[in-house]
Amino acid sequence: MVDAGSWQSETEWPPARAKDVTLYLAGGQALAVEPEPADAQDSYEYDPTVGVTSGIYWGGGVLPWAMPLDQRADEIKSLTFASAPFERDTELTGEPEVLLHVSSSAESGYFHAKIADVAPDGTSKWLTDGGLVTSHRTSHTSPEPIVPGQVYALKINLKFVAYIVPAGHSLRLSVASADLQNAWPCASCGVHTLHRGADFPSRVVLPLAPADAPRLASPALKPSPRRDPTDGDFGGSSHKITHDLVNETATVELERVNETLPNSSVTRPPFGESISRREARSRYTVSRKDPAAAHLHADHVYTISRPEGEIRIEANESLSSDAQMFRFHSRVEIRVDGKTHFTKSWRASRPRLLD
């Protein structure tokens, strides 16, 4: 989902014009200005395949950059809470924060919060998100289990965002326990519960400002001398997500193949080589039946054709897990004119400590 976007100058962060507005999780899938007087709760079963619409933000993915899609395919598998429609254009700029009161049937779990802009026609556009593993609620270096059934407060900082919410649109908060394309799945199956109300005021804090609030003039940025890339510059790229309905798995496959010629207007070949070719492929599978058993394998090949010869660099890597361990394997081989010049491989295993 693409926005035109614009540049904006700021002298401070977050901008002083943005004021924190707190909305509370309420019944009827609503975000309310006050917490409900009576306590209530909503539960869902952990599904490690949620996240097909999130896009990829750990490295750009593949063209067309694996941008987020309409979020509704994931929202139907999540707990959702929406604000009333905004009466006027409103700026959302800063670092939103979510505080959830949660419990679980498992000793550890992941809670992923996402904010989307919901248009009058129902289209749901990703704006920002963030997540936290319950065992990391007080420390990332010394994880601690939770007591099943006991309620804990989780503070989740979402990614920075700068966006104009149009009049008539709503903001929707969705909560799940997976982000398929960006977070490794937690090991334990379980039922997670959100608690809300006076004693458990689960809420989201949004930095909001009127869209017409005074601000600095937009910066005068010069356009790039290079043209924008097109899909034709990156032929062979693909981004697939498939579901195996028998074995209850989801697989994400990425492929990117592109060739750089001398004096390319899109990318400039390093080291003055004549032609370079990059190939990257990965396959990542998670399981609903056994979320601990996830596996990722990736291959990267970089070929440089120079007047003095051809250099081929190949790297292979894999990461797999089960309920007890993470296992890593990497291998690198460099070949010059078809002959092996250098090769090395690494293996390592690490215990799985509460995800």
- Cβ-based neighbours of 174, under 8 Å, separated by 6 or more: 71, 74, 75, 78, 79, 80, 81, 113, 114, 116
35 shares its domain with 132 = yes
Name the least confident of 95-104, 218-227, 293-302: 218-227
Q: Are 113 and 130 in contact (CB under 8 A)?
A: yes
157 shares its domain with 122 = yes
Give domain status of residue 215, yes or no: no
Give domain status of residue 163, yes or no: yes
State pLDDT tens for residues 159-172. Answer: 999 999 999 999 99
User: How many Cβ atoms from other residues are within 10 Å of residue 292's Cβ?
Assistant: 19
Domain harbouring 106, CATH code: 2.60.120.260
- Report d(CA 93, CA 6) in Å as an integer: 13
195 shares its domain with 98 = yes
pLDDT at 6: 84
Of residues 181 and 228, the one with the higher pLDDT is 181
Compute φ and ψ for 158, nearest 5 degrees.
-90, 165
pLDDT band at 223 (very low <50, low <70, confident <90, very high): confident
Average pLDDT over residues 12-20: 92
State pLDDT tens for residues 46-96. Answer: 999 999 999 887 665 555 567 899 999 999 999 999 999 999 999 999 999
Share of the chain above pLDDT 70, in %: 91
pLDDT band at 218 (very low <50, low <70, confident <90, very high): confident
3-state secondary structure of 145: coil
Give domain status of residue 341, yes or no: yes
pLDDT band at 231 (very low <50, low <70, confident <90, very high): low
Of residues 206 and 10, the one with the higher pLDDT is 206
- Cβ-based neighbours of 222, under 8 Å, separated by 6 or more: none
291 shares its domain with 189 = no
pLDDT at residue 273 above 80? no
- Report d(CA 145, CA 238) in Å as an integer: 39
Number of domains within the chain: 2
DSSP state letter for 309: E
Copy the structure tokens of residue 44: 């869902």
- Report d(CA 93, CA 231) in Å as an integer: 31
Token pair 């790297």 in the structure block, residue = 315
Q: Which of 239, 256, 114, 244 is closest to 181 using CA atoms?
A: 239
pLDDT at 271: 52
Give domain status of residue 26, yes or no: yes
pLDDT at residue 267 above 80? no
- Report d(CA 25, CA 194) in Å as an integer: 9
Q: Which of 118, 131, 122, 236 is closest to 179 using CA atoms?
A: 131
79 shares its domain with 193 = yes
101 sits in the region (left: phi over 0; alpha: psi -120 to 50; else beta) called beta
pLDDT at 214: 87
pLDDT at residue 272 above 60? no
- Report d(CA 198, CA 73) in Å as an integer: 31
278 shares its domain with 151 = no
pLDDT at residue 119 above 90? yes
pLDDT at residue 27 above 80? yes
State pLDDT tens for residues 309-345. Answer: 899 999 999 999 999 999 999 999 999 999 999 999 9
Q: Are 70 and 124 in contact (CB under 8 A)?
A: yes
DSSP-assigned letters across all residues of 264-278: -SS-PPGGG-SEEEE
The secondary structure element, H or E, covering residue 75 is: helix 72-75
| H helix intervals, 13-145 | 72-75
Global pTM value: 0.90
243 DSSP β-pair partners: 250
Average pLDDT over residues 278-282: 90
159 shares its domain with 241 = no
CA torsion sign, 286 to 287 to 288 to 291?
Answer: negative
Give domain status of residue 2, yes or no: no
Structural domain boundaries, residue 138: 19-210
52 shares its domain with 86 = yes
170 shares its domain with 298 = no
Give domain status of residue 32, yes or no: yes
pLDDT at residue 150 above 50? yes
Residue 271 corresponds to which amino acid? F
Give domain status of residue 7, yes or no: no
187 shares its domain with 332 = no
- Give the CA angle between residues 220, 225, 231 to the nearest 5°: 110
Give domain status of residue 11, yes or no: no
184 shares its domain with 306 = no
Of residues 211 and 249, the one with the higher pLDDT is 249
The secondary structure element, H or E, covering residue 340 is: strand 339-351
206 shares its domain with 333 = no
pLDDT at residue 10 above 50? yes
Task: Please identify, among 178, 210, 242, the residue that sits at the C-terminal boundary of a domain.
Answer: 210
